[in-house]
Amino acid sequence: QVQLQESGPALVKPSQTLSLTCSVSGGSINSGAYHWNWIRQHPGMGLEWIGNIHHNENTHYNPSLRSRIVISINTSKNQFFLNLSSLTAADTAIYYCARRYCTANSCSLFDPWGPGTLVTVSS
């Protein structure tokens, strides 16, 4: 059973860069069937898709964040990463990692997810 776990700092200062890691266990990240995603939830608000990466390192980013994000992958460590730069208080959120895959009619299956990590941007 594949499991995902986010890790990283709980508190970061404005203007700094957030670096998060998603560790994948119970299955290989090096599969062409999956895309590896970052999603966030601002306090009391809805979910926002940040972007994803494939094992071949192809990425797809949310245009609203594209100028500030880099998603990378290390297949030998079964991990993928999020770097989000120029942080502001508006980046305070729970950050989730999730695997996404397709069926015959849909590519919107996010499963499984990690439990999420709360990141607060504050001086």
Binding site residues, other proteins, CB under 8 A: 4, 37, 39, 41, 45-49, 60, 62-63, 96, 98, 100, 103-116
Cβ proximity to other proteins, 108 vs 120, nearer residue: 108
Cβ proximity to other proteins, 93 vs 98, nearer residue: 98
Q: Tell me how far, at minimum, the Cβ of 16 lies from other proteins, in Å.
A: 26
Q: Tell me how far, at minimum, the Cβ of 41 lies from other proteins, in Å.
A: 8
Both tokens assigned to 32: 């062409």
Residue 26 region, left (φ>0) first, then alpha (ψ -120 to 50), else beta? left
Pairing, β 117-121 against β 11-12: parallel
Q: Tell me how far, at minimum, the Cβ of 59 lies from other proteins, in Å.
A: 13
How far CA 23 is from CA of 14, 43, 58, 107, in Å, comes to 26, 24, 19, 22
